[in-house]
């Protein structure tokens, strides 16, 4: 085995550890304290200075898909196209998609949107307080809210079951 070196193994293990950090994460079943979405008011990206969006005003009449993300997160950026498509498929059911950018500046978001346009509203959680309220410890984090703010799903990707959850929720509504 002349010439074989183990120097690549520590690098591989370090990369695997970094990539998996936070991915084991929590599922909705492990977040019992979050049965209803904590309310927040954040600055709306791309709007006149000072314009805000309050979650309870949006979720009062509509289901809401919250996506916690950041411009530096490659998985978040890769999912923008899928989220745009999902939003188009669910728009007729009144679903509102809301990106929550964590600790990004408007300039960073603007630069990203020139390459990866987001066809949904984005609010800016500049200090990360809202992400903390939701227990976000991995990005992206996806939270589906029923009309009224009940949490239907909490996870780390946009699974197909979200549409089934919406359908089940609408059938259970009075």
User: Is 57 contained in some domain?
Assistant: yes
User: Is 151 contained in some domain?
Assistant: yes
* Pairwise CA distance, residues 144 & 151, whole Å: 6
Q: What is the pLDDT of residue 20?
A: 36
User: Is 31 contained in some domain?
Assistant: yes
Mean pLDDT by 10 residues, the chain (174 residues): 43 37 40 81 90 96 96 96 90 91 96 95 97 95 94 84 71 56
What is the value of pTM for the model shown? 0.78
User: Is 6 contained in some domain?
Assistant: no
Domain count, the chain: 1
Looking up residue 49, the CATH number of its domain turns out to be: 3.40.30.10
User: Is 16 contained in some domain?
Assistant: no
Q: What is the pLDDT of residue 166?
A: 72
Question: How many whole angstroms from its chain centre is CA 122?
Answer: 10
Q: What is the pLDDT of residue 10?
A: 40
User: Is 105 contained in some domain?
Assistant: yes
* Pairwise CA distance, residues 79 & 131, whole Å: 19
Q: What is the pLDDT of residue 165?
A: 76
First and final CA of the chain: distance in angstroms?
71
Domain with 54 in it: 26-172
CB contact set of 69 (below 8 Å; sequence gap of 6+): 76, 79, 99, 100, 101, 102, 139, 140
User: Is 8 contained in some domain?
Assistant: no
Do 63 and 95 form a contact (C-beta atoms < 8 A)?
yes
User: Is 119 contained in some domain?
Assistant: yes
């Amino acid at each position: 085995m002349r010439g074989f070196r183990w120097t690549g193994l520590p690098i591989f293990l370090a990369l695997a550890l970094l990539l998996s950090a936070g991915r084991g994460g929590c599922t909705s079943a492990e977040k019992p304290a979050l049965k209803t979405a904590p309310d927040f008011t954040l600055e709306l990206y791309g709007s006149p200075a000072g314009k805000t969006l309050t979650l309870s005003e949006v979720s009062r009449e509509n289901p809401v898909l919250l996506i916690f993300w950041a411009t530096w997160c490659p998985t978040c950026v890769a999912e923008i196209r899928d989220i745009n498509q999902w939003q188009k498929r669910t728009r007729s059911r009144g679903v509102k998609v809301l990106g929550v950018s964590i600790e990004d500046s408007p300039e960073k978001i603007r630069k990203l949107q020139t390459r990866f346009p987001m066809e949904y509203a984005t609010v800016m959680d500049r200090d990360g307080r809202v992400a903390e309220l939701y227990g976000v410890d991995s990005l992206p984090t996806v939270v589906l809210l029923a009309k009224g703010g009940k949490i239907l799903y909490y996870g780390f990707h946009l699974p197909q079951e979200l549409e089934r959850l919406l359908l089940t929720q609408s059938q259970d509504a009075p």
